[in-house]
Structure 1
């Protein structure tokens, strides 16, 4: 006896899920290009320093960044008129996307280099 096969047993991937995954890979590829050709600062203290100095172009914050730290960074970024982009992954994947073997909850891009991360972050 073979089990019956119904169309309801199969789930087709949603177009939004596919787009979301490609958007995450897109930002990872652009971030890798920034690390290779531009300049970026990793970490909370260095991010606040670059925001105070006005060098930051865009700030990426991981999904599991503590709320108090997140709000402090967003406040400094608002004063510096710098874009803050929430990163979809946690601090482990953000560190890996930067090509580092450690966790980081905040990445600040100070020089974009050959990447167009500013345009891609604005479109998302």
Structure 2
């Protein structure tokens, strides 16, 4: 039995290509959900926990995207189920790296906002 198929998984290729924006959207949801819910639950007193959670999720998301961009083949093989090595594989990797780089910048930008903006300001 072959480990990889001769044909690429179209869904896997799409998820691989959009890995950066997907991680960015998950990061965006987590930081805003954590911020809003912890501000509401603690009455604005849990700002240390909010900062720690947002910075940890930001570091985790950025690290995941940087590692996927620097070593894309294990992620490619896992999602696409194709050994790679052809022109289409190189195109998908280049596109994923571009989108992962842009998404990493967006994750860092969104995560560092916790250091600049006042926390729980909308509840005051």
TM over 0.5: no
Flag the structure with higher strand content: 1
Larger relative contact order (Cα-Cα within 8 Å, sequence gap ≥ 6): 2
Normalising by structure 1, what TM-score? 0.28
Q: When you count helix as a share of all residues, which structure comes out higher?
A: 2
